[in-house]
Amino acid sequence: MDIKTPLIWKNWTFIKWDDTQDHHLSHTLHYWSWVFEWIRFYNTTKWPKIFKLEAHIDRLFYSASVFQMDTEFSKEEIMQACIQTVAKSWETEWYIRPIIYYGTGKMWLNPTGAKVETVISVWKFGKYLGDKAIDVKIAKTRRVDPRTTDMNAKICGNYSNSILVSLEIKKDGFDEWLLLDTNDFIAEWPGENIFFIQGNSVYTPELWTILPGITRATIIDLFQDKLDIKVIERKISPEELWNFNEAFFVWTAAEVTPIASITNEWWTKFIYNSGNASSTSKKISDFYHNIVTWDDENYINHLS
């Protein structure tokens, strides 16, 4: 995958790919003191549009506040910078990665006094897991305990747990992993929220050990608005996997990805009917696709 981007926005200035550089003694390089967002823009019938830009930037600033980062930019200025960076990419369906991080100035754990840097880049990247239903295995590694960090923030350090799990994926021949929390309830994939369907009921893990995803919130709204189905948020144990008819992941990069099977830690395999033409997961996937490519300002900010 070539992620070389046309121009990168950094602290008010556009920089060419080959001209970007950061000091090897920046705080974030040594201590992972950065926060980020992962945003997608789509080609619609009228123009390229960014999906829920304001919600993503709200979360970016919340994450920065957790690290007590004093950025010199307002939310509105960062939103506009995202729009400008997309416009300068001359593309219609790419991804946006805004990050805020501590640069040089301090080389111990407390970053107070280090320079705060803000960078926005865009690159071409397809649907993360493709369109087919995937095979998933429950990992031995547990999700980060929410008592040790802020699960509502997209902090880079939270993802060291995800990296460790992701490195195991191909070794055992599965497409993705599913994490349990430290109490052995189902949490999420290292970067995605999960939903289960049983008849006319939809379930998803309750907030606490999971990131409250923006795509997750959109899917809950769609179930209620389009299918008149209430989504039940509660603890879900691995022993319940055999009860469900369908399962799927949601995430900005993966959109709605049907799950064909989940294998537990004891190698028992649960098969699901997710993603076929008549499935509920296929219906919600279609609704989601229509929303992100539709001219509805409740969900999408258009590029001006």
3-state secondary structure (DSSP) of residue 19: helix
Q: Give 17's DSSP letter.
A: G
Residue 226: count other Cβ atoms within 10 Å of its Cβ: 15
Residues 93 and 42: beta-carbon distance below 8 Å: yes
User: Among 72, 84, 35, 34, which Cα is nearest to 57's?
Assistant: 35
Burial classification of residue 304, based on how many CB atoms lie within 10 Å of its CB (0-12 exposed, 13-18 middle, 19 or more buried) = exposed
User: Among 57, 36, 37, 29, which Cα is nearest to 114's?
Assistant: 29
Element (H, E) at 113: none
Task: List the structure tokens of 140.
Answer: 């031995």
Residues 228 and 200: beta-carbon distance below 8 Å: no
Q: Give 112's DSSP letter.
A: T
Task: List the structure tokens of 162.
Answer: 């995800």
d(CA 100, CA 83): 17
Element (H, E) at 83: helix 75-89
Give the chain's count of helices (H) and strands (E).
6, 17
The residue type at 68: Q
Catalytic residues, which ones?
154
**Residue 12 region, left (φ>0) first, then alpha (ψ -120 to 50), else beta?**
left
